[in-house]
Structure 1
């Protein structure tokens, strides 16, 4: 098994488990994470997801041995499998937290950028690194990184192949919070439980608008937001939230 998974108090934990290979992405790992995310997509018990790695790396990127393998006619190639995983992660309807326990490089950084929130251990380092091996990014390195950090920072990471500390990436806006290494798992679980207590429907709708707003003029983005609100007004969760407020109690959200 290259991927471990469990559910704890509404939080699904997805752990990359190839520590000897620094959790580099291979076909098996990418396919297994894609399958688990798809299974959790329709599981009401999973209200948030935490993605992390075992060992000293979050993910050191793609397994370059598999990148170099010739494609097999009629089968998805390595890039298809890895990009399919990152796309599934990015489109997951509930919040995904990256708990970056160590190095996140190249495909590892692209995986981090596909998550909604990023918590990082103090010792973690993040970088693109594709240029170090003459490899071009294919899952968001060049296209998404300039949307996550200042453009001049993105260029530096892309062109030089350098990596930055978690604290630097927090200053640049990619990392939400830096925590002591020993506290990362507990903090990720706490944030996951906080999100799990929210309406999964409202979070899914917020996630969709946030993801699409950057590519639209402000007027169009506001129209989309208003349309989502109109639809949300018909939901159980909004009625329950307002009723709970009036009754001074905790709401019980159903995601519908």
Structure 2
């Protein structure tokens, strides 16, 4: 087993479980995470997901032993499997929190960047690191990093292979919150439980608009937002939210 998955209330937990290999991404783990995300995607009981690692690393990147293996005819190659996982994570319609417990390098950093919110332990370190091994990023390292941090910071991380502390990454905007190591998982659960109280439909639609806004003009992004609002006005969740406000009670959202 390379992955632990469990539910805590309405929160799905994915824990990468290759501690001896610093949770480096191999075919088995990437495929398992893809399958679990797809299973949770349409499960109404799952309102939010937390992704973390077991041991002293969140994820140290791709398993370079598998990267070096020649592809097998008729099978997806290593890159297809890993990129398929990151793409599935990035497109997941529900909020995903990265709970970065240690090193997040190369493919580990790309995994972090595919999540919606990032909580990091004080001891965590993040970096690209591809250049240290003569490897080119393929799941967002070069393409996404400059959208997450200032361009000069992205170049530094990409070119030098350096790692930054969680506090540095918080200053640059990649990390939302830095917490003491011992409090990371509890804090991630608390944030996920907060998200689980919101309308799933609102969060999905907000996530879609936010994800696409950077590739549009402001006018097009505003039109997209208005279209989503028009559609949302016909939803149960909006009617329920307004009625609950009028009746001074907590809303009972259904995600429809």
Question: Distance in 2 between the 1:68 and 1:114 partners?
Answer: 25
Gaps of 5+ in 2: none
Deviation, structure 1 residue 9:
1.4
Moved over 4 A (4+): none
Question: Distance in 1 between the 2:91 and 2:12 partners?
Answer: 16
Q: How does 1:60-139 map to 2 (within 5 A)?
A: 60-139=60-139
Question: Distance in 2 between the 1:74 and 1:55 partners?
Answer: 35
Match in the other structure for 2:194: 194
**Aligned Cα root-mean-square deviation (Å):** 0.3
Match in the other structure for 2:53: 53
SS at match of 1:169: helix
Deviation, structure 1 residue 73:
1.0
Match in the other structure for 1:160: 160
SS at match of 2:86: helix
Question: Distance in 2 between the 1:219 and 1:74 partners?
Answer: 45
Deviation, structure 1 residue 223:
0.3
Match in the other structure for 1:206: 206
Question: Distance in 2 between the 1:78 and 1:215 partners?
Answer: 29
Match in the other structure for 1:235: 235
Question: Distance in 1 between the 2:204 and 2:152 partners?
Answer: 32
SS at match of 1:144: helix
Deviation, structure 1 residue 33:
0.2
Match in the other structure for 1:33: 33
Gaps of 5+ in 1: none
Question: Distance in 1 between the 2:192 and 2:248 partners?
Answer: 24
How many corresponding residue pairs?
A: 256
Question: Distance in 2 between the 1:180 and 1:98 partners?
Answer: 15
